[in-house]
Homo-oligomer: A and B are copies of this chain.
Amino acid sequence: MTQADSATKPGEAETGAGDFHVFDTTLRDGAQMEGLRYSVADKLAVAELLDELGVDYIEGGWPGAIPSDTEFFARAADELNFKHARLVAFGMTRRAASTAAEDPGFKALLDSRAPVLCLVAKSDMRHVEQALKTTPEENLAMIADSVRTGREHDRQVFIDCEHFFDGYRHDPVYAALVVKTALDVGAEAVVLCDTNGGSIPSDITAAFTDLRARLAADLPPERIRLGMHAQNDTGCAVANTVAAVEAGAMHVQGTANGYGERPGNANLFTVIANLETKLGRKVLPDGGLEKLTRVSHAIAEIANMTPDEHAPYTGHAAFAHKAGIHASAIKADPALYNHIEPELVGNDMRILVTEMAGRASVELKGRELGIDLAGDKDALDRITKRVKELESKGWSFEAADASFELLVRDEVEGGLPRPFTLDTYRVIVDHDPNGATVAEATVRVDVEGERVISTAQGNGPVNALDAALRSALAARHPRLAELTLSDFKVRILAGSTGTDAVTRVLISMSDGEAEWTTVGVAPNLIEASWNALADGLAYGLNRR
């Protein structure tokens, strides 16, 4: 069913007592993040992933106000087939001294064909007077008119009360009146927004508790439908959201990976995992929670943001245990150290190989890769020593399992066969007077005893080197054609300054079935890339 067919009829929402809304605003509020830019195609892909996870509402943007959002909703109407979620168009309540039916901004929301509207409204008296420059009464009329008009058009309508908590402290009577007005005229729920992000959990608990008590004078409990929208300026957005649920909220808003303006929005994935595993609230459909890690990483890729390794639940390091004593204890009983089973959220426990962890970690890591080091103490010592040595020079195996495996097999089995050995390479980059840049690489390698020279061009030095190397190996190793580079990361390790600092490159490759990552470290990008490329190809060709 397309989202155009799924509009709730007026009256249905009110019988939804006991329902709970997971409301994602990655594509609207979360899109405000510095450096983040979604194409329309990106937005459609993100929306599909969120629906796959099982969120209830996906706020797609602000049609009419942002041209690319208008385009998104137009394409969504034809291209998105949600299994579970409902698409939401964000906007404002109608302008003062007008009607919703005549307001061009409001009409644009209806034209988007989204079955759900989420309208931001003022609930802080000071904003009504200074920002909207209107009266408290007109503000209430704007809200009521907008909700009613939306419902007349068969839309579900949410009201976002902007700056709610600051406003509630300033004038709780008026703020409560705004909420009551919206609920009275049939808003699906009223979302209390900590727009400045300045709240801590005890503020949220107190406000929700106090507000519910005020509203109870006029509304039965099942009609007090409140939501929470937290910003992370005090580092408490997730906690504020959980506190709101504990104080009776039935609707939570957040963004994928906490993306958003300033310190970001509440990380919806962390919120979901906390609600499910700590509060025992099932907020996703069956099978949803275990998709959390994959969806988190997939959205980071689309957003072109480096995944946060340290994100709770979904980060690559979330269940990565390092210290030597922990590693020994974990072998005994993982439940002693993991606060939940990582598999619940689709993540894994990892043992990190570093100088602090020592032999126990190297052994565990080897086991993870299918290599039994327990019986070979000398090899274990040699490997541990080599790892520490390389790491002191900037190598990092934590993200490069394939490089670690090559190192281990070198020490234990005399090494994997290397498809080639490097003699020389030369890379030339030319910038001509017309401004065009061309790179050319020539590599001389020994391929199974035969000297091969190969030259290739590319739009940059690493690109050209990669092409030349594959070309040199192609005749002997036709399977190389199946290997693709899936990721290429560069990090300048600030040891010395500026342009001669140590460079670390991570290259991920795939043969269509598996993906592996290798690392290369050198004083310059080209040498570091060469190291990572060479290891990656060697690993890939050995995989069968």
Q: A: which residues have CB within 8 A of B?
A: 31-35, 37, 66, 126-127, 130-131, 163, 195-198, 200-202, 232-236, 238-240, 242-243, 246, 258, 261-264, 267, 270, 273-274, 278-279, 301, 304, 309-313, 315, 317-323, 329, 332-333, 336-340, 352, 354-356, 391-392, 396, 398, 422-433, 437, 439, 458-463, 466, 484-495, 497-501, 503, 507, 522-527, 529-530
Contacts and interface: CB of A to CB of B under 8 A. Distances in A.
Instruction: Count chain B CB atoms within 10 A of each CB in A235, A323, A432 and give the residue with the most.
Output: A235
What is the copy number of this chain in the assembly? 2
Contacts of A433: 423-424
B263 A312 contact: yes
Given A429-B426, A437-B522, A499-B466, A234 B461 contact: no
Contact of A333 (B130, B494, B522): B130
Contacts of A243: 201-202
6 contacts: A233-B313, A233-B339, A263-B317, A426-B429, A426-B431, A460-B503
Given A197-B339, A198-B278, A233-B312, A424 B430 contact: yes
A500 to B, nearest CB: 4
B239 A322 contact: no
Contacts of A525: 460-462, 490, 525
A193 to B, nearest CB: 13
Contacts of A462: 499, 524-525
A514 to B, nearest CB: 17
B242 A352 contact: no
A488 B202 CA distance: 43
B524 A460 contact: yes
A261 B523 contact: no
B317 A34 contact: yes
A473 to B, nearest CB: 16
Contact of A301 (B233, B391, B432, B494): B494
A74 to B, nearest CB: 19
Nearest to A311: B263
Nearest to A233: B339
Nearest to A340: B198
Given A274-B200, A301-B494, A431 B499 contact: no
Contact of A270 (B234, B323, B524): B234
Given A196-B337, A234-B339, A246 B460 contact: no
Nearest to A428: B428
Nearest to A398: B34
